[in-house]
Amino acid sequence: MPVPPSSGRLQWTDVPPLLRALLETALGAPVAEAVTPGGGFGHQLAAALRLDGGRRVFVKAAPDDDPLTGANVHEAAVLDALPPGAPAPDLLGVHHAASWTAVVIAHLDGPHPDLSPRSGDAGQTWALLDKLTSSPAPAPYAEAVRAKPSTAAALHGWNELLTAPPADLDPVARDRLPQLAELEASWPTLAHGDRIVHADLRADNMVRDHDRGVTFVDWAHATTGPACIDAASLAPQLVLAGHAPADVARLLRDHPATANSPGTTTAYLAALTGHWHRNARQPAPPGAPGLRAYQHRAAAAGLALLRHRLR
């Protein structure tokens, strides 16, 4: 397996020539330009390809012995199985050559949404989550995600921090460590449900497409679960984007995806925040230069929200 780049992503020219040729044949035109968008922490190829003639597609690719290929193949199956009208781009194809796999996805045109208070994008995202979680996932989607264990269900961190609290741990967390660890321990049994869950909702996993509006991308962790997961994931992202934690806590309390399951929502938020607090203190993985700094910020945002939910 090629060593992932120590900073940034694999490029189109890193893809084996055999797979590049196969893709160009399948797409019906040579690639004129490959643009790697900003956003995300992965090391694989994730690029917008502009073909001769002007058409654009989005491609994710990695060697077959890279775990990201399994994630990409899962994402392809999910995109294929999401119900019509879901806020996701269409799958265009999956291609294998030279022990690499490429997933080709319809290109979305636009920036990441602006989740700050001055934009309407956050409101649009809450509305999308209401629609996405208001009824059970259709059977083809449930089947597509059945075999893959949910990464959301496995989130944890407070248990380890309780054993050896780091010196720089926020006093708010330090004072509540046993409670946070207990909430987190309750999460795995609450993590089951029949709703569509994206499970990695951040602004950089969304595109505000000029035609479609806010659309979710990067469905690599998609699963089924309780309706609250994506709304509770969005909440700390809004704090990071500048919303007051008290305002977001109110939205979380009242949103249709979370209002009826306050206990499950709090347990998930505790597990997610514990994951951030623990992982932010781990050594940085190769190919993901901004990850630990992001996790420190996200850990603080999650804790600011938990303060409003814990007694």
Binding site for Mg ion (CB under 5 A): 40, 205, 218
Q: According to CB under 6 A, which one of 48, 97, 98, 185 is a site residue for ligand ATP?
A: 48
Instruction: State which residue, 27 or 105, has the beta carbon closest to ligand ATP.
Output: 105
By the rule CB under 6 A, 14 interacts with ligand ATP? no
By the rule CB under 6 A, 58 interacts with ligand ATP? yes
Which amino acid, 202?
R
**Quick check: 239 and 301 in contact, CB under 8 A?**
yes
CA–CA separation, 197 and 308 (whole Å): 24
Least separation in angstroms between residue 10's CB and ligand ATP is 10
Query: DSSP alpha helices (H): ranges in 176-280?
Result: 177-190, 228-240, 245-254, 262-279
Instruction: State which residue, 219 or 268, has the beta carbon closest to ligand ATP.
Output: 219
Find which of ligand ATP, Mg ion, none residue 107 binds, CB within 5 to 8 Å per kind.
ligand ATP
Instruction: State which residue, 217 or 280, has the beta carbon closest to ligand ATP.
Output: 217
Handedness of CA 164, 166, 169, 171 (dihedral sign): positive
- Residues in a beta bridge with 103: 60, 94
Burial class (CB in 10 A: 0-12, 13-18, 19+), 297: middle
Instruction: State which residue, 205 or 223, has the beta carbon closest to Mg ion.
Output: 205
By the rule CB under 6 A, 204 interacts with ligand ATP? yes
**Residue 106-145 contact track with ligand ATP, rule CB under 6 A, x = bound:** xxx---x---------------------------------
By the rule CB under 6 A, 37 interacts with ligand ATP? yes
CA–CA separation, 217 and 206 (whole Å): 5
Q: Give buried/exposed letters for 29-58 (b at 16+ CB in 10 A, else e).
A: eebeebeeeebbbbbbbbbbbbbeeeeebb
The residue ranges that bind ligand ATP (CB under 6 A) are 37, 39-42, 44, 46, 48, 58, 60, 89, 105-108, 112, 204-205, 207, 217-218, 220
